[in-house]
Structure 1
Amino acid sequence: MRAVLYESFGGEPRVVDVARPQAGDGDVVVQVLATGLCRSDLHAWAGHDPGIRLPHVPGHELVGRIAERGAGVTELRVGQRVTVPFVCACGSCPECESGNGQVCRNQTQPGFTHWGSFAEYVLIRNAELNVIPVPDALDPGAAAILGCRFATSFRGLVGQAHVQADEWVVVVGCGGVGLSAVMIAAALGARVIGVDVSGEALALATASGAEHVIDSGGLTDAEVVAAVRDLTGGGAGVSVEALGRENTTAVAIRSLARRGRHVQIGLFSSDPRMPMAEIIAGELTVLGSHGMAARHYPGMLDIIASGRLRPEELITRRIGLEEAPEAMIDLANARNTAGVTLIVPG
């Protein structure tokens, strides 16, 4: 099969011929119809994830059709159109038994623990626990980006922060995951503020439901916080940081009203300092979101089916597999970063 492969961290990714994966007990092999290019793929490529073994094929957001079933897989059928969370649960550890497979201690992740979806085929382990059937009517781009950024934002806002209608939500960083958060918060009836340095990203935030946007390019961090507080009349109820930078995390936290909730989605290359004095004085809550277990997907799919959420509108570019290496390099160098890039291997 054809796949994007890199042989060293930060080394040039190339499209090459590699062996197609084989389904073991409990596994399925999925023929990839579409896969999203995510910043998490760049963290892996940069060597920030100690679990990756080289050479490596990235990619963890996908939709496809089951091409092969391993022994013991009886509830899924060949040809079925499916997606999968980027965290695949084991089903037997204490976290899984409590219903929190998204933090499974024995988790597998395509594109991290084993080769991923920037390929014609990808292996999914513990398939009957993790694979999620998706209707053929759902746009393949929408289905592909559910597995990471959209599900992570959905769980962060719904399952963690419990966002309420008419509550102010500020989203700092309006890339793919930030735009997902904007769209979800708006669909929940929240009043949303998007913050970014890119005019194109802010235009997408407005189109996704943001009531206000703040161009932070010419502002100090203190001025951004002051602008949010002015718009909200004293601070947001919920903040989301979707970049993974120390200063923007502090901006998001300092933009909260007292007893507000901060959701951290952006990944860091090293541990950041936090504005702990404000967290303590304001009795703020800091929450993480690490994807969403497969069992929670039906609720999200129901909202998408209703038309209130339209993930496909976040896709700004669709490319072939041969173009994926250049797209990875562009994203790493902050080029062509607005919206979501979708890779279509076929």
Structure 2
Amino acid sequence: MRAALLEGIQKIKMTQIPKPTVGKGDVLVRVVACGICRTDMKAYQIGQRDLHLPRVLGHEISGIVEETGSEVTSVQPGDRVQIAPGLPCGTCDYCRKGMDNLCDHVEIMGFHYDGGFAEYVLVPENGVRHGVLNKIPESLTFYEAALTEPLACSVNMQESVQILSGDVVVIFGGGPLGILNAKLARIRGASSIILVEKRAARIEAAEKEFDHCINLMEENAVERIRTLTAGKGADAAIPCCPDPQAVADSLAVLGKKGRFGFFSGLVMGEDAPHIDWNLIHYKELAVYGAYGCSSNHNRTALELLSSGMVRVSDMTTRILPFEELVQGIEMVARRDDTNLIIDLTI
């Protein structure tokens, strides 16, 4: 079968590998669509802590069940499915509490197991048993379903930071996760959602989701938000980008008792800004982390998409054939598009 095999840093080989053999509890999925995200870009450019090479990347996967093991009853060939990429152990304390994204032994498709940048992906028995395969309703396209996983990560963040009715929410970064967090904040009742972004093209693409947009190249975000909130500050701030300056600005724009959502891992360089952590003390801020998503978050996200409460049909701005995966990763690095998807059928 065709596969994009990451053999080393910035070395992807478009090749043929054996089609996976299906065990009694496994499910083989024919991939239709797989999103390219910044995590894939990071794995390609510099590696990732959980990445085991050689590896087929890709964890935002939707497709059609091709074959099931003899003991599988939850799905059957022909079912349209989305795959939650985390494969939990199911027995540790975190799994038993429904927090399987924090599982002590979690393995992730696209890092520990081969992912979706291939014609077929094998979902192993423990993943099938713990409900990582989710049926896609006919009302939802494969492209929309491929956005389930990033939406699920956003659900995790907003449940942690507890976006409430009437909140003023500031989101740093107008990429896919910034937009998804804005959509979620809207349905959770936020009264004002503010985007902070330095790229004019991203502001233009995302502005319909926000009440106010601040271009960092033209104005000071902290001062503008202070004006917009009559000096009170925001109730919640979520950096959806790896820029340490967004962390510093998030703490600065929050009002007293504000909530900071630590959503995106940071890229710290020698020129990293000073972050005034004392603001957490003086303003009694709360800090909430969110890493990935649990199987329950994934199911919640798919329900939000299926019900139409969250609409993402306008978010995918470029569909690429399998052969253009590397170009797609480079586009993600340049932030040329809102959301890119590889379509394995074209």
Q: TM-score, normalised by structure 1?
A: 0.91
Q: Residues 92 and 137 from structure 1, CA distance in 2 versus in 1: closer, same or farther, beyond 3 angstroms?
A: same
Q: Is the 8 A contact 1:314 1:339 kept in 2?
A: yes
Secondary structure, counterpart of 1:164 in structure 2: coil
What's the offset of the Cα at 1:286?
A: 1.5
**What amino acid maps onto 1:9 in structure 2?**
I
Q: Which runs of 5+ in 1 are unaligned?
A: none
Q: Residues 227 and 281 from structure 1, CA distance in 2 versus in 1: closer, same or farther, beyond 3 angstroms?
A: same
Q: Residues 183 and 278 from structure 1, CA distance in 2 versus in 1: closer, same or farther, beyond 3 angstroms?
A: same
Provide the rounded CA distance (Å) in 1 between the counterparts of 2:99 and 2:24: 23
How does 1:1-346 map onto structure 2 within 5 Å?
1-11=1-11, 13-125=12-124, 126-129=127-130, 130-147=132-149, 149-157=150-158, 159-190=159-190, 191-207=192-208, 209-219=209-219, 223-233=220-230, 234-269=232-267, 274-332=275-333, 334-336=334-336, 338-346=337-345
Q: Is the 8 A contact 1:101 1:293 kept in 2?
A: yes
Size of the aligned set, in residue pairs, is: 337
Deviations 1:79-109 (A, max 9, x none): 2111122322221111100111121111121
Deviations 1:305-327 (A, max 9, x none): 33231022211111111111111
Q: After alignment, is 266-275 or 93-102 more displaced?
A: 266-275
Q: Is the 8 A contact 1:32 1:121 kept in 2?
A: yes
**What amino acid maps onto 1:192 in structure 2?**
I
Q: Is the 8 A contact 2:165 2:188 kept in 1?
A: yes
Q: Is the 8 A contact 1:43 1:269 kept in 2?
A: no
Q: Which runs of 5+ in 2 are unaligned?
A: none
Q: After alignment, is 167-176 or 44-53 more displaced?
A: 44-53
**What amino acid maps onto 1:143 in structure 2?**
A
Q: Residues 258 and 25 from structure 1, CA distance in 2 versus in 1: closer, same or farther, beyond 3 angstroms?
A: farther
Provide the rounded CA distance (Å) in 2 between the counterparts of 1:260 and 1:86: 32
Q: Residues 31 and 90 from structure 1, CA distance in 2 versus in 1: closer, same or farther, beyond 3 angstroms?
A: same
Q: Is the 8 A contact 1:153 1:181 kept in 2?
A: yes
Structure 1 outlier segments of 4+, above 6 Å: none
Deviations 1:25-47 (A, max 9, x none): 53322111111110011122234
Taking every aligned residue pair, what percent have the same amino acid on both sides?
Answer: 28
What's the offset of the Cα at 1:196?
A: 0.9
Q: Is the 8 A contact 2:250 2:260 kept in 1?
A: yes
- What is the root-mean-square deviation in Å for CA atoms of aligned residues? 2.0
Secondary structure, counterpart of 1:95 in structure 2: helix
**What amino acid maps onto 2:96 in structure 1?**
E
Deviations 1:135-172 (A, max 9, x none): 1221211100111x211112211x21121122111110
What's the offset of the Cα at 1:274?
A: 4.5
**What amino acid maps onto 1:265 in structure 2?**
F
Secondary structure, counterpart of 1:78 in structure 2: coil
Secondary structure, counterpart of 2:213 in structure 1: strand
Provide the rounded CA distance (Å) in 2 between the counterparts of 1:344 and 1:79: 18
**What amino acid maps onto 2:249 in structure 1?**
V
Q: Is the 8 A contact 1:23 1:70 kept in 2?
A: yes
**What amino acid maps onto 1:253 in structure 2?**
L
Q: Is the 8 A contact 2:145 2:302 kept in 1?
A: no
What's the offset of the Cα at 1:60?
A: 0.5
Q: Residues 274 and 121 from structure 1, CA distance in 2 versus in 1: closer, same or farther, beyond 3 angstroms?
A: farther
Secondary structure, counterpart of 2:66 in structure 1: strand
Provide the rounded CA distance (Å) in 2 between the counterparts of 1:229 and 1:85: 39
What's the offset of the Cα at 1:247?
A: 1.2
Secondary structure, counterpart of 1:26 in structure 2: coil
Provide the rounded CA distance (Å) in 1 between the counterparts of 2:318 and 2:332: 12
Provide the rounded CA distance (Å) in 2 between the counterparts of 1:274 and 1:89: 35
Provide the rounded CA distance (Å) in 1 between the counterparts of 2:123 and 2:223: 46
**What amino acid maps onto 1:121 in structure 2?**
Y
Secondary structure, counterpart of 2:56 in structure 1: coil
Deviations 1:233-278 (A, max 9, x none): 3211111111112111211222111111111222234598753111
